[in-house]
Structure 1
Amino acid sequence: MDNFNLFKFNRYWTLLISIAFIFFLLYLYYTLFPGNISPDVYRYFTPAEVAKAREYHKINRLLYIFSFLIDAVFFIWLVFGNGAVKISLLTEKLSSGHYYLNVSLFFIILWLILKVISLPYSLYSYLLDASLGFSTQSITAWCLDYLKNSILDVIISYLGVILFFYAANKWRYSWWLPASVFLSIMLFIQNLIWPYVIAPLFNKFTPVKDPAVLKMVEEISKNAGININRVEVMDASRRTTRANAYFYGFGKNRRIVLYDTLLNKYPKDEIKAVIAHEAAHWKENHVLKSLLIGIIGIFIALFILHQLLKSTLIWPHGKKIAVASLALVYLSLILIGFDSNPIQNYISRKMEQQADLLSVSFLHAKQPVIKLQVDLAKKSLSDVEPPDFIEWFSYTHPSTMHRIQYVEKSKILSQ
């Protein structure tokens, strides 16, 4: 193997890296210089609340953007600085030439390096939340969660890596098609089994028994024209003081999950607004729509990855794909994921905006929805009015003030 001719830098990499670099600079600039707050914000929040939230999010955004930068720079060096080739030569010796053992060893080394790089950021984020009272976990409990997540991650990632090398070697010019079909099926299965297999590893879920909450569910069901047959409470308080809720499933397996922190710390009208919001996701089949969009995204991402491999990797005829190519795959997915952030988040924000507006029609009132957003923001230190670029690039939900403004302007009062 020629150490200096395995990967070719080309115009596709110039484009991907340039877009990422521009986004990085803009994100960093607006993190450090977020601009002024509009007077409208102070109808709901005090200057002290806004300033404290901005400082908190400034730290989190710096952690996020520099962790991305370090990952990207490391893999660019690894791929185009021949680091990946040198590591693969080492693992080839250790595996005595056994191809899939070589792949396995190379994967483990990369995975461990990534864990070492990301650990300080994860730990600092936990310590920051603990210092502000958001995290209720001890350092021991946090470490146990980190270990469980790591075990799941290494198992799932390893299976994906082995399947990638198998598919790439079996269908050299069309591997991305069967891989996309397989990952789409796995995504569908994951959505089915996650609530029953993975989620219970981390939290306990029980049916809601509070008669007042059940009455709210019955009323919202009637107003929305849907049959909400299961609402669960999750013991989120074992990890956080933050309140949240989510909707999952499709068909007959749809459920709404409420955090116990929401039920214990928020007034009934705001809990009802949360149920209405999740019922709107139910009504609009947002989980199924997100799944279908995700499948489209898988096909697009793997097609782009295929083109990058084809144009970058020197792959002699009749030979198996080089083990060092795994570093190229990691770099591709890091850059594709980062560069496509605005598209993914735009779709998510639109669904959340739709759910907010529908919740107003289910409640026949705007005030509970607005009151909920204000209360959530205050208790969670939300950046209620982030810079437009930050929201456009990285927010999966509209910012607090945008959500309030959408509701205030809404004329939807009945279904």
Structure 2
Amino acid sequence: MIFTADQFFTIIIVIVVADYAINTVIDILNLKKSSAKLPEDLKEIYDEEKYLKAVKYQKANTKFGLLSGFSSVLIMFLVLYFGILGELDSWIRVRFDSVVTQTLAFFGIVYIINDIWNIPWQWYSTFTIEEKFGFNKLTPALFWKDKLKGYLLTALLGGILLSVLILLIMWLGQSFWWIFWLVIVLFMIGANFFYTSWILPLFNKLTPLEDGTLREKILQYGKSVNFPIENIYIMDGSKRSSKANAFFSGFGKRKKIVLFDTLLEKHTDEELVAILAHEVGHYKKKHTISGMISGVVQTGAMLLIMSYMIFNPNLSIALGAEQLSFPVNFIAFGIIYTPVSMILSLFSNFISRKHEFQADKFAANTYNGEELQNALKKLSIDSLSNLKPHKLYVIFHYSHPPLLQRLQAIDKHK
């Protein structure tokens, strides 16, 4: 079926409004579900004061998200309605000769304007909400330093990938998608291999974990499950936030364990090993590989669908362009793809929550379920997590199961 420019415009507006409405309704349902009184089943986890603080934190973030979300969708609606993207495309065409430079200039301008619009929201979130609830450790100087590094990194990596994409489109026409798919796959693999070596050090300092009881316990556990662990690093996450985290990166001999320094401050050695046992469970259950394969397949499917739409001039005209424009069509396709992306996200979150249960079971069976429960409780309490979110909110937004479900599941394997 061939759509006219007006039909494409209607479809795009409907998708933008529907996506906003769905997410807003889910946020409001989640907000209304919170109770000002400490529920009975949370009394062993939260005290009254901490629970009320968590409720206030969730409400502050939700209300802020509703306001920022409304402002963003309003701006997007005005941009689409008045054909501003098409005006930008026409302005760029008379100033740049090649399709590559036109596309880079277009997205460079859109990126900068969008980021300038978002800075006040990011600033308020960081220096008001996160500061008020005791999480923020970021200084204004570091905020702007991170911004500058982010710009440079986006310009370098984004510019390279975007240039490759445009060149392939010009050279290969509609069949560009599978070559660019291979490029993206190589990029994803490379990013996983070299993230902690090249990218992360631009923003954080990694220090090898010193010899001591914690390192010995980690190495001993690794041997017990036939999972050699050598590269263990501490990251200075506390210079930005008091929230704690841990993750694995890389494959084979290049895999690294990264612990936030905030984890070491708040958890016992046994709890830390239990957290790492959970992460090892992801590797042992092949979750990392299956997740990457899923990402590769989804990326390929998206590029294939895009190849059938990227050359459609009506799509460009729908957003105000006078003729076929690749950058305008990229944005139009991104909006039209939103329902597909939402469905895939629901599926990915479902699989991810299932994998978290499996990793918890692995940690409970191979190390200590009670220590894992203690660690999960501390992580949730310290981050003021919503322990009783609305079911729809979990389905749409949670990649991890709610804490109470995880604790109940671990009880079965202790």
Q: State TM-score, norm by structure 1.
A: 0.86
Alignment of 1:149-188 (within 5 A): 149-188=150-189
Post-superposition shift, 1:74? 4.0
Conserved 8 A contact 1:235-1:260: yes
Equivalent residue number for residue 362 of structure 1:
366
Residues 108 and 333 (structure 1 numbering): CA distance in 2 closer, same or farther, change over 3 Å? Answer: farther
One-letter code aligned to 1:253: R
Post-superposition shift, 1:129? 1.5
Q: Distance in 2 between matches of 1:306 and 1:68?
A: 30
Post-superposition shift, 1:191? 0.9
Establish whether residue 402 from structure 1 lines up as the match of residue 405 from structure 2: yes
Higher mean C-alpha displacement, 167-176 vs 320-329? 320-329
SS of the aligned residue for 2:210 comes to coil
Q: Distance in 1 between matches of 2:153 and 2:65?
A: 22
One-letter code aligned to 1:175: F
Establish whether residue 379 from structure 1 lines up as the match of residue 378 from structure 2: no
Equivalent residue number for residue 350 of structure 1:
354
Conserved 8 A contact 2:234-2:261: yes
Equivalent residue number for residue 55 of structure 1:
56
Residues 81 and 26 (structure 1 numbering): CA distance in 2 closer, same or farther, change over 3 Å? Answer: same
SS of the aligned residue for 2:43 comes to helix
Residues 239 and 18 (structure 1 numbering): CA distance in 2 closer, same or farther, change over 3 Å? Answer: closer
Q: Distance in 2 between matches of 1:283 and 1:57?
A: 34
Residues 334 and 65 (structure 1 numbering): CA distance in 2 closer, same or farther, change over 3 Å? Answer: farther
CA-to-aligned-CA distance 1:153-173 (integer Å, 9 cap, x gap):
233233333233222333332
Alignment of 1:33-72 (within 5 A): 33-36=32-35, 38-64=39-65, 67-68=68-69, 70-72=71-73
Conserved 8 A contact 2:24-2:66: no
Residues 272 and 322 (structure 1 numbering): CA distance in 2 closer, same or farther, change over 3 Å? Answer: closer
Q: Distance in 2 between matches of 1:196 and 1:114?
A: 30
Residues 311 and 350 (structure 1 numbering): CA distance in 2 closer, same or farther, change over 3 Å? Answer: farther
Residues 294 and 308 (structure 1 numbering): CA distance in 2 closer, same or farther, change over 3 Å? Answer: same
Post-superposition shift, 1:66? 5.1
SS of the aligned residue for 1:381 comes to coil
Establish whether residue 252 from structure 1 lines up as the match of residue 253 from structure 2: yes
Higher mean C-alpha displacement, 397-406 vs 38-47? 38-47
Q: Distance in 1 between matches of 2:264 and 2:316?
A: 58
Percent identity over the alignment?
Answer: 22
One-letter code aligned to 1:350: K
SS of the aligned residue for 2:248 comes to strand
Establish whether residue 101 from structure 1 lines up as the match of residue 101 from structure 2: yes
Residues 220 and 322 (structure 1 numbering): CA distance in 2 closer, same or farther, change over 3 Å? Answer: closer
Conserved 8 A contact 2:11-2:336: no
SS of the aligned residue for 1:343 comes to helix
Residues 39 and 164 (structure 1 numbering): CA distance in 2 closer, same or farther, change over 3 Å? Answer: same
Structure 1: gaps (5+ residues): none
Q: State TM-score, norm by structure 2.
A: 0.87
Equivalent residue number for residue 320 of structure 2:
none
Q: Distance in 1 between matches of 2:74 and 2:148?
A: 26
Conserved 8 A contact 1:8-1:311: no
Equivalent residue number for residue 29 of structure 1:
28
One-letter code aligned to 1:39: E
Residues 329 and 159 (structure 1 numbering): CA distance in 2 closer, same or farther, change over 3 Å? Answer: farther
SS of the aligned residue for 1:386 comes to coil
SS of the aligned residue for 1:94 comes to coil
Alignment of 1:5-404 (within 5 A): 8-9=7-8, 13=12, 16-17=15-16, 20-36=19-35, 38-64=39-65, 67-68=68-69, 70-72=71-73, 74-75=75-76, 77-79=78-80, 81-95=82-96, 97-127=97-127, 128-309=129-310, 313=314, 321-332=325-336, 337-338=341-342, 340-363=344-367, 365-404=368-407
Residues 248 and 314 (structure 1 numbering): CA distance in 2 closer, same or farther, change over 3 Å? Answer: closer
Conserved 8 A contact 1:224-1:283: no
Conserved 8 A contact 2:136-2:240: yes
Structure 2: gaps (5+ residues): 318-322
How many residues align structurally? 403
Q: Distance in 2 between matches of 1:234 and 1:19?
A: 41
